[in-house]
């Protein structure tokens, strides 16, 4: 049986703790090196066995830290053997601090992954949580996956360990981190298996690779073969642009009927983007902004895409009107493919042939096949990588060709529908698609317009219908798809698996409708780096608008304390503290950087404070909070003392803002 290990290290000034848990079984190995206990010989033997038997280590941010410490121990083992336990711990601690300094300064670690004697899987990198937009500590991921214990280590790394009680506390903390990392590993099983397959197939170590890195590596693999150049040489290629004239990028078929959009086109044609030669990406963010008011709907244009939204409210299909949804299939990849665009430093024909090959191959492969997902990653990531100065696909003009023409082409479809279909109501336009309410008698006309647009652009549209859209804005809404007939067995199985969907039997037919929840209305399947705080709120809003359940009824029914919990993390110099009145005196207790709490009828007030004197209440007003960093299964619901009125106020505010606006517009 494979004996791979989920692991974590704790490095303190005079103490080193290493914990390993078998990646499948419950077997745990604990090693401590300090003046109280010296397991260094056993640890060294264990690590040597791992290396000799090709047993892997699975960690959270291990490539940048834990694996570095492992290599240091193996590298310096002869010198370390001569030292006492506290001296070994001090030597490891010094190296650990140097490694942390390298990370802080964004420098490469001492030991490259290809030099490591023990193979690694880093779930931190694999999930791309090292990306600034998804940046997540292990504590935050513990909170996100409802881990039972999200407590920080109780002893600061600079404090010496002088007794067995403190040592045991460090060990227990390390065991908790290892167990939670093992949980993350299990949640990432399919991703790890996919990366294993790709590593074996392409001979590139992708076990800890994020999706953008997979795209970059595999595109380079195929493109280097297609171009007949070495992959290392390919990876050095770039096309920086000192400036970009937008007029030269706009496709010839882009034309508009109305003055509003003709002015938009004129704006784009007169725009020149300037790029700082010292910062290749500076000219491609925030340099373009334009808004159009058309059919009483404001639509915003920028470098990232188009975003337009009607007034908040409830839009419903009925006997006379229907909500149509149309999305462009693989919009950005297909814009490049159909128009033969490529980064300037790459052979256009070969790049486009390869890009189209990825698209065509994906269509042949069922979604259950992992390679379907791989090709999707490659297709979708290429656009982003073309705007990444560290990528061999870098050419911001290629990026701008896609994003500018993507916005203008979609706007053409938007204008064609609104101008040619009487009484149509635009609801939203967002990057690669739009939703419009039209009279049912014009459905054929709608499809004919879409077909003309497809012929003009050589792109394909995918269509859906909605029963209802509960709409706050372009990023926050609930959309309920139209009813679809299902086989009774499938219907019953799905009802058990996804009970929140809509189900009914009509005239002997089994009908099902799913809902799409976006932004602050999203409550299931959230990515672990996102903030899942107060899930009770979107859950109750969904139940009200889609199932007709009153908020007070749902709150009385939902007794899952985690749905009421809130997660907060303090960044930089900010600190967290809780202030409460005890025996008539105000007491302030410091809190850790990442916390889990809920709003309660009794408790304290949590503040975020800064050394410069600034401070913020996490929950404004009269409401109190109770910490919940450690779950307690023995507590009854009444003992939690949740202030349900606080949550109901939030739910009612959101519901009422949508209902009131809907009534004003005669939509509800």
The last residue of one of the domains, among 189, 209, 229, is 209
The last residue of one of the domains, among 482, 497, 527, is 482
The answer to whether residues 190 and 250 belong to one domain is no
CATH code at 119? 3.30.420
**Confidence bin at 79 (pLDDT 50/70/90):** very high
Contact 601, 573 (CB under 8 A): no
Mean pLDDT for the chain? 94
The answer to whether residues 16 and 162 belong to one domain is yes
Cα 27 from Cα 55, distance rounded (Å): 15
Mean pLDDT of the region 281-291: 65
The answer to whether residues 465 and 605 belong to one domain is no
Cα 43 from Cα 292, distance rounded (Å): 66
Whether residue 308 lies inside any domain: the answer is yes
Cα 598 from Cα 624, distance rounded (Å): 9
Nearest to 537 by CA among 644, 651, 657: 651
The answer to whether residues 201 and 248 belong to one domain is no
The answer to whether residues 204 and 269 belong to one domain is no
Whether residue 230 lies inside any domain: the answer is no
Q: Answer whether residue 261 shows pLDDT above 80.
A: yes
**Confidence bin at 663 (pLDDT 50/70/90):** low
Render pLDDT for 84-124 as a digit per residue (tens, 0 to 9).
Answer: 999 999 999 999 999 999 999 999 999 999 889 999 999 99
Whether residue 358 lies inside any domain: the answer is yes
The answer to whether residues 425 and 366 belong to one domain is yes
Cα 583 from Cα 594, distance rounded (Å): 28
243 by DSSP, 3-state: which?
A: strand
Cα 469 from Cα 480, distance rounded (Å): 6
Cα 331 from Cα 353, distance rounded (Å): 17
Residue 463 bridge partners (DSSP): 326
In eight-state DSSP terms, residue 276 is B
| Phi and psi angles of residue 35, each rounded to the nearest 5 degrees, phi first | -70, -25
Least confident of 182-186, 220-224, 552-556: 220-224
Nearest to 445 by CA among 466, 415, 469, 416: 416
Q: Answer whether residue 25 shows pLDDT above 60.
A: yes
**Confidence bin at 660 (pLDDT 50/70/90):** confident
The answer to whether residues 62 and 124 belong to one domain is yes
Nearest to 146 by CA among 521, 566, 556: 566
Mean pLDDT of the region 229-252: 94
Residue 374 bridge partners (DSSP): none
Q: What is the pLDDT of residue 281?
A: 47
CA separation, residue 62 to residues 43, 355, 539 (Å): 17, 34, 36
**Confidence bin at 662 (pLDDT 50/70/90):** low
Q: Answer whether residue 382 shows pLDDT above 70.
A: yes
- CA 533-535-537 angle, 5° bins: 110
The last residue of one of the domains, among 428, 458, 482, is 482
Render pLDDT for 42-66 as a digit per residue (tens, 0 to 9).
Answer: 999 999 999 999 999 999 999 999 9
The domain containing residue 198 runs over which residues? Answer: 5-209
Alpha helices (runs of H) in 32-156, residue ranges in sequence order: 40-52, 66-75, 77-81, 85-104, 123-126, 138-144
Per-position b or e across 400-417, b if 16+ CB within 10 A of its CB: bbbbbbbbbbbbbbbbbb
Whether residue 361 lies inside any domain: the answer is yes
Residues 6+ positions from 511 with CB-CB distance below 8 Å: 483, 484, 485, 486, 503, 504, 505
Cα 41 to chain centroid, rounded: 42
Contact 465, 325 (CB under 8 A): yes
The answer to whether residues 149 and 198 belong to one domain is yes
| Phi and psi angles of residue 107, each rounded to the nearest 5 degrees, phi first | -105, 160
The answer to whether residues 371 and 447 belong to one domain is yes
The answer to whether residues 171 and 309 belong to one domain is no
Contact 288, 301 (CB under 8 A): yes
Whether residue 223 lies inside any domain: the answer is no
Q: Answer whether residue 470 shows pLDDT above 90.
A: yes
Q: What is the pLDDT of residue 370?
A: 85
Q: Answer whether residue 668 shows pLDDT above 90.
A: no
Whether residue 220 lies inside any domain: the answer is no
Whether residue 229 lies inside any domain: the answer is no
Mean pLDDT of the region 484-498: 94
The domain total for the chain is 3
pTM (two decimals): 0.92
The answer to whether residues 87 and 151 belong to one domain is yes
Render pLDDT for 387-433 as a digit per residue (tens, 0 to 9).
Answer: 999 999 999 999 999 999 999 999 999 999 999 999 999 999 998 99
Cα 384 from Cα 402, distance rounded (Å): 11
Mean pLDDT of the region 318-337: 95
Q: Answer whether residue 280 shows pLDDT above 50.
A: no
Cα 425 from Cα 438, distance rounded (Å): 6
Cα 158 from Cα 4, distance rounded (Å): 31
Whether residue 453 lies inside any domain: the answer is yes
DSSP 527-569: -TTS--TTTHHHHHHHIIIII---HHHHHHH---GGGG-EEEE
Mean pLDDT of the region 334-348: 94
CATH code at 435? 3.90.1600.10
The answer to whether residues 122 and 188 belong to one domain is yes
């Amino acid at each position: 049986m494979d004996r791979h290990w989920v692991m974590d290290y704790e490095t303190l000034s005079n103490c080193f703790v290493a914990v390993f848990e078998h990646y499948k079984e419950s077997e745990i190995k604990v090693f401590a090196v300090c003046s109280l206990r010296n397991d260094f010989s056993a640890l060294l033997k264990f690590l040597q066995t791992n290396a000799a038997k090709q047993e892997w280590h699975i960690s959270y941010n291990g490539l940048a830290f834990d694996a570095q410490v492992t290599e240091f121990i193996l590298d310096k083992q002869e010198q370390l053997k001569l030292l006492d336990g506290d001296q070994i711990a001090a030597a490891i601690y010094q190296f650990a601090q140097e490694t942390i300094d390298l990370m802080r300064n964004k420098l490469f670690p001492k030991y490259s992954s290809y030099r490591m004697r023990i193979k690694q899987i880093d779930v931190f990198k694999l999930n791309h949580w090292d990306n600034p937009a998804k940046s997540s500590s292990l504590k935050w991921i513990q909170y996100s996956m409802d881990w039972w214990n999200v407590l920080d280590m109780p002893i600061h790394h600079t404090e010496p360990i002088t007794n067995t009680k403190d040592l045991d506390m460090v060990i227990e903390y390390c065991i908790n981190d290892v167990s939670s990392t093992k949980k993350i590993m299990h949640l990432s099983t399919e991703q790890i298996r996919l990366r294993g397959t790709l590593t074996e197939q392409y001979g590139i170590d992708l076990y800890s690779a994020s999706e953008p890195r997979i795209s970059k590596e595999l595109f380079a693999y195929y493109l280097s073969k297609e171009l007949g150049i070495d992959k290392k040489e390919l990876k050095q290629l770039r096309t920086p642009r000192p400036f970009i004239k937008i007029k030269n990028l706009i496709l010839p078929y882009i034309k508009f009927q109305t003055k509003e959009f003709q002015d938009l086109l004129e704006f784009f044609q007169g725009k020149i983007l300037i790029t700082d030669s010292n910062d290749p990406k500076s000219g491609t963010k925030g340099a373009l902004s334009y808004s159009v008011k058309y059919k009483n709907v404001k639509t915003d244009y920028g470098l990232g895409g188009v975003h337009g939204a009607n007034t908040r409210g409830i839009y419903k299909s009925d006997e006379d009107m229907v909500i149509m949804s149309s999305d462009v299939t693989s919009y950005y990849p297909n814009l490049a493919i159909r128009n033969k665009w490529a980064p300037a430093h790459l052979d256009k024909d070969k790049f486009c042939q390869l890009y189209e090959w990825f698209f065509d191959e994906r269509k042949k492969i069922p979604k259950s096949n992992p390679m379907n997902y791989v090709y999707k990653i490659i297709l979708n990531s290429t656009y982003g990588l073309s705007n990444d100065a560290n990528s061999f696909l870098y050419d911001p003009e290629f990026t701008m060709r896609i994003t500018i023409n993507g916005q203008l082409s979609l706007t053409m479809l938007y204008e064609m529908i609104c101008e040619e279909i009487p009484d149509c109501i635009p609801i939203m336009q967002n990057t690669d698609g739009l939703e419009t309410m039209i009279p049912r008698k014009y459905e054929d006309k709608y499809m004919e317009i879409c077909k003309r647009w497809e012929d003009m652009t050589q792109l394909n549209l995918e269509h859906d219908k909605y029963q209802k859209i509960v709409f706050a804005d372009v990023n926050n809404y609930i959309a309920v798809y139209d009813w679809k007939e299902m086989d009774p067995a499938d219907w019953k199985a799905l009802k058990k698996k996804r009970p929140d969907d809509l189900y009914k039997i009509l005239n002997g037919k089994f009908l099902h409708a799913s809902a799409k929840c976006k932004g602050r209305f999203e409550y299931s399947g959230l990515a672990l780096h996102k903030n899942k705080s107060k899930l009770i709120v979107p859950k109750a809003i969904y139940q009200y608008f889609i199932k007709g359940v009153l908020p007070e009824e749902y709150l009385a029914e939902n007794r899952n304390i985690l749905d009421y919990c809130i997660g907060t993390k303090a960044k930089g110099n900010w600190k967290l503290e809780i202030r409460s009145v005890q025996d008539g005196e105000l007491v302030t207790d410091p809190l850790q950087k990442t916390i889990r709490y809920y709003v309660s009828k009794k408790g304290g007030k949590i503040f975020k404070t800064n050394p410069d004197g600034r401070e913020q209440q996490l929950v404004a007003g009269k409401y109190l909070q109770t910490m919940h960093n450690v779950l307690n299964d023995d507590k009854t619901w009444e003992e939690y003392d949740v202030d349900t009125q606080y949550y109901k106020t939030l739910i009612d505010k959101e519901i009422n803002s949508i209902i009131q606006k809907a009534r004003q517009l005669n939509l509800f």
